[in-house]
Structure 1
Amino acid sequence: MKKYIYYSILLLFISSIAIAQEINIDETLSKVKQEVEKNNFDKALSLIEPLRAKFPENEDIQIYTGRIYSWKKDYTASAKILLPMADRVNPNPEALQALINTYFWSEQFEKCITYCDKYLALNPKDTEVLKIKVTCLEKLNRDQEALDIISRSDIENSTQAFRGIRTLIGRKAKNAVSASYLNISTSDPGQSPFHYGYVEYSHKFSKSAIVGRANIGNVSDNTQMLFETDFYQTFSNKSYLYANAGVSTGETIFPVAKAGLEYYFKPHKNFDYSLGARFMHFDTDDITLVTGQLAYNTGNYTLAYRPYYDTSNELFSHVLSLQRSNEEKERIIRLELQYGNVPYLYLYNGFTQPLKAYRIGLQYQHRFGDSFFVRPIFLYEDEEYTPGQYRNRFNVQLIVTKRF
C-alpha cells in the first residue's frame, strides 16, 4: 500500500513537471510571436534560442527560429538551421518552405529553384511555390522555362498569380513594330479631312533604345513624307534622355527638319519631372518650343502637367492629364485637357497665330495575348480658326503594336 501511494505521488510529480514544461513552451512561443509582430527580432530570438537549445528535437521550434532569422535578414543563420531538416532523405515540408523563402529573399535564385523542386516533388500543385520558382527563372532570364510552367493546364486556372510574371517576360522583348492612322476632320465650317499615318520599328538595347519612323501626310491632295528617329538612353540613377531628329520631303504638312531633346530626371518620391525643347524648321519660319513635365504618381494613377512655350510667337500651351494604369495587363486609360497650340504628336505647323483652342481627349490601350496592343485615341477641339470664329475639330487615331 505504501509503495502504491509512493509511486502515485511520484507519477503525479513527473506529470506536473511535464505539464509545466509544456505550458512553458506555449507561453514562451506566445511571447516570441508578440515580439515578431512588433519586428523586435532580436528580442524574439533571445526568448526562443534557449527553448531551441532545450528541445533540439522539436522541429517546429527549429523552423520558427529559422524563419525569424530570415525575417531579420540574417539569411546565413537561417539557412544553417533549416538545411539539416531540408536535406535529409525525408525532408520536412515546412522547413523546405522556410528555406525557399530564405533563398528567394536573399536573391540566391539557383539555390531557391533547387529547393522549390524538392518541395514540389512532395506538393506538385502548390501555387505559391510554383510562383516563386517561376519568378526565380525570370530573374535568371530562363524565360522559356518559366513560360512552360505557366502554360501547364493545371496552372492556367490560376492565371491571376502568374499574369504579372508573364508581363515582365513580355516586356523583355527587344523589338516592336507599330502602325497608325490619324484622321482630322472639321465641321461648322468643315473642310476636307487631313490624313496622317506612320509605321515604325523599335529596338531595345541593354540601356538604350532606338526607334525609326516613316510618317505620311495627305492634306488638300498634297502628300508629303517625314522620316525621323527617336533615341532613349537610360542612366544608373533611373533618369533617362530622349532625343529626336527628322527630315521631310515637303515644306507645309511637316517641318522641313525637326529636332528635340528632353531629360527626364531621377524620380523623387512620387514625383517625376523633365525639361526639354523641340525645334522645327519650316520654309518660312523656325519654331522653338520649350517644354517639360511634372507628374505625380499615386497607386495606379498618374496626374501630369506639361506646358509648351513657343519662343517665336510668345505663346503658351498647356496639357493636363490623368492616367490610370494596370501594370499586370499593361492597360492604360488616359484623359487629357489641353489649351493652346499644343503639338499633336508630330504635327505642328509654321502658321501659328495667337488663337484660342480648347481640347479634351481620351485614349485607351488594350493588350491582346502577351504581345499585341491596340490604342484608340479621340480628341475633340473647339478651335478658333480666325479671330472670334470657332469650329469643331475631331482627331481620331488608331495605333496597333506588335512586340517580339
Structure 2
Amino acid sequence: MKFLYYSIFLFLISSSVVAQEINLDAALSEVKREVEKNNYDKALLLLEPLQTKFPENEDIKIYKGRIYSWKKEYVSAIKILSPMADRTSPNPDALLAIINVYFWSEQFETCIAYCDKYLAVDPNSSDVVLIKIKSLEKLNRDKEALELVEKLPITDNSTQAITGLRTLIGQKAKNAIAASYLNISTSDPGQSPLHYGYIEYSHKFSKSALVGRANIGYANNETQMMFEADYYQTFKKRDYLYVNAGFSTGETIFPVAKVGAEYYFKPGKRFDYALGARFMHFETDDVTLLTGQIAYKTGSYTLAYRPYYDTSNELLSHVLSIQHTNDEKESLIRLELQYGNVPYLYLYNNATEPLKAYRVGLQYQHRFGNSFFVRPVFLYEYEEYLPNEYRNRFNVQVIVTKRF
C-alpha cells in the first residue's frame, strides 16, 4: 500500500519534474534522506525521474544498486551493477558496491573474485582487503586469510576488525595443550606447602570436545597421581553437557575415584543456568556434591552465583563471582567471593566437621600472539581448620595454554 501511494504521488508530479531543469545534487540529497529513514521504496521512486533525465549518469545507477542491496534484494542489485563492474574498464564505485552485495549475500567465492579485480587497480584499499580476508575466513581458508593480514600496514594490522578476525580464526583451532602448577601454603599456624600440577590435552570436534588430564600432587611427603577425562557435548541454542570422570593412584591426596556431570542451558539472552552433581569416593568416605549456577550477562560483564551442597555432611557453600571479558583479545579478569567447603578445581576436602572458610579469589587471562595464553590465579582463605581455630591459606596457581 505504501509503495502504491508513492507511485501515484510520483506519477502526478513526474511529468512536471522531468520537464523542468532538475537540480541533481538537491534531488540526490532528498533520496539520501529517505534512505537514512529506511524508506527504500520511496527513495527508488525518487530516483526514477532522475534516471530518465540523466540516463548515462552512472552515479545514479550505482546508488540505485546500493539501495536494492540495502533492501536485501541482491538479484536486482547485481543486475544493475554487473554491466558497470564487468566491463573492460570497470567503474570503481560499481565494483565496491557489487563486492558488498556478494559479501552480504554470502557468495564469498564470487566476492573474492571481485575483490581481486578491484585490488588489481587499487592494491592499497584496506576496506576491500578486509572484505577479502573476511570472505576467506568464512570459507575456512584461514591460512590465506592470515597471510593477507600479515601483509597489511601496521596501522591497519592492529585495528579492532583485524584483532577480532585473528581471534575468530584462532578459536577454530582443534587442539590445545595446557600445563599448570598450584602451590598451597598456610600461616598462623603454617605447615609444609602442598604442590599440585597437571598436563592436559584437548581436541574439539564439530559439536563436542574431549580433554585428557594427568594430575600430580605432593603432600605430607607423598606423591600421587590422578587421571581424568572431560567430555563436552553441545546442543542447539548453545546448550551443552559437561561430563567428568577420573581415578587416582592413591587414597589421600586425591579422591580414589570421581565422576560428575553438569548441564548448561541458556533460555534467554542475558541469563544462563546450570544444574549438576559430583560424586567423589575417598578411602574412608564418599562425598556427593549438588551444584548449579545462575549467571547474568550485561555487555562484557557477567555476574554469577553458584551453590554447592554436600549431601553427606549437609554443608551448603556459596560462590559469587563477577567477570569482565574482552572477546577480541580473549582476556578476562575474574573476582570471586566464596564461603564454605568450595572445591578448588579438582581438589576437595572430605572432612566431616562443618568448618567455616571465607575466601576471595582473583584470576586473569592474557593472550600472547594468536594462540598462547597465561592465566595466573590467586585465592586467599581465612580457614577454620579446627573448631574456632583459624589460619591463613594461600592458593597460587599459573596455567599456561597453547592451542594449535
Contact 1:254 1:349 in 2 (8 A): no
Count of residues in correspondence between the two structures? 387
Q: Does 1:173 align with 2:176?
A: no
- Distance in 2, matches of 1:268 and 1:229, equals 30
- Displacement of 1:297 in angstroms is 1.7
Contact 1:176 1:401 in 2 (8 A): yes
Q: Could you tell me which amino acid in structure 1 is paired with residue 318 of structure 2?
A: H
| CA drift at 1:155 | 5.1
d(CA) in 1 for partners of 2:228, 2:57: 70
CA distance in 2: counterparts of 1:154 and 1:27, whole angstroms: 39
Whole-Å separation in 2 of the counterparts to 1:121 and 1:132: 15
- Tell me if the contact between 2:259 and 2:280 (Cα under 8 Å) persists in the aligned partners: yes
Superimposed CA distance per residue, residues 191-222 of structure 1 (whole angstroms, 9 cap, x where no aligned partner): 11111100000011111110000001111111
Instruction: Give distance in 1, aligned partners of 2:127 and 2:388.
Output: 65
In the alignment, what sits opposite 1:348? 348
- Secondary structure of residue in 2 paired with 1:355: coil
SS at match of 1:346: coil
2:66 is equivalent to residue 51 of structure 1 = no
Q: Structure 1 residues 111, 354: closer, same or farther in 2, change over 3 A?
A: same
CA distance in 2, matches of 1:175, 1:156: 31
Counterpart residue type for residue 371 of structure 2 = S
1:30 is aligned to 29
Contact 2:290–2:309, Cα closer than 8 Å, also in 1: yes
User: Does structure 1 residue 398 correspond to structure 2 residue 398?
Assistant: yes
**Where do residues 230-245 of structure 1 align in structure 2 (5 Å cutoff)?**
230-245=230-245
Name the amino acid aligned to 2:103: F
**CA 1:356–1:72: 2 relative to 1, 3 Å:** same
Q: For the residues of structure 2 that align with 1:249 and 1:90, how far apart are their CA atoms?
A: 74
Cα separation, partners in 2 of 1:34 and 1:352, compared to 1, 3 Å = farther
Normalised TM-score (structure 1): 0.92
User: 2:203 maps to what in 1?
Assistant: 203
Show structure 1 runs of 5+ residues with no match: 1-16
Q: Is the 8 A contact 2:99 2:114 kept in 1?
A: yes
- Within a 5 Å distance, the mapping from 1:214-253 to structure 2 comes to 214-253=214-253
User: 2:386: which partner in 1?
Assistant: 386
- Deviations along 1:54-103, one digit per CA (max 9) or x if unpaired, are 43211111111111111111111111111111111111111111111111
Distance 1:158 1:284 in 2: 59
Matches within 5 A, 1:59-208: 59-152=58-151, 154=153, 158-160=157-159, 161-208=161-208
Q: 1:18, CA displacement in angstroms?
A: 9.8
- In 1, the alpha carbon distance for the partners of 2:121 and 2:296 equals 47
| Distance in 1 between residues matched to 2:311 and 2:216, nearest whole Å | 27
CA-to-aligned-CA distance 1:107-144 (integer Å, 9 cap, x gap) = 11111111111111121111111111001001101111
Distance 1:364 1:19, change over 3 A: farther
Aligned partners of 1:253 and 1:349 also within 8 Å: no
| TM-score, normalised by the number of residues in structure 2 | 0.92
CA contact (8 A) 2:365 2:376 kept: yes
CA positional deviation for 1:223:
1.4
What are structure 2's unaligned runs of at least 5 residues?
1-16
**1:256 corresponding residue in structure 2:** 256
State the partner residue of 1:314.
314
1:49 deviates by 3.3
Q: Does the aligned pair in 2 maintain the 1:174–1:205 contact within 8 Å?
A: yes
Q: What's the C-alpha RMSD, in Å, of the aligned pairs?
A: 1.7
Kindly tell me: are residues 53 and 287 of structure 1, through their superposed partners in 2, closer, same or farther at Cα, counting changes over 3 Å?
Answer: farther
Residue of structure 2 in register with 1:8 after alignment: none
What is the CA-CA distance between 1:373 and the residue it aligns to?
0.9
Quick one: distance in 1 between partners of 2:62 and 2:352?
Answer: 72
Aligned partners of 1:395, 1:105: CA distance in 2, in Å? Answer: 50
In the alignment, the residues of structure 2 paired with residue 324 and residue 247 of structure 1 have an alpha-carbon distance, to the nearest angstrom, of 34
SS in 2 for 1:22: coil
Offset at 1:348? 0.6
The within-5 A match list for 1:3-42 is 20-23=20-23, 25-42=24-41
- 2:190 corresponds to which letter in structure 1? G
CA distance in 2, matches of 1:246, 1:370: 32
Which structure has the greater CA radius of gyration? 1
Q: How many angstroms does 1:347 deviate by?
A: 0.3
Where does residue 14 of structure 1 map in the other structure? none
Distance 2:33 2:312 in 1: 68
The answer to whether structure 1 residue 281 and structure 2 residue 287 are counterparts is no
Mapped to 1, the partners of 2:305 and 2:194 lie a distance apart of 28
Offset at residue 267 of structure 1 (A):
4.8
Q: Would you say the 8 A contact 2:341–2:349 is kept in 1?
A: no
Give the AA of the match of 2:117: K
Partner of 1:13: none
The whole-number CA distance in structure 1 between the counterparts of 2:112 and 2:156 is 23
SS at match of 2:120: helix
| Distance apart, 1:153 and its partner CA | 5.6
CA contact (8 A) 2:115 2:132 kept: yes
Distance, in Å, in 1 between the alignment partners of 2:230 and 2:286 is: 21
Q: Give, in whole Å, the separation in 1 of the partners of 2:316 and 2:52.
A: 74
Letter in 1 for 2:145: A
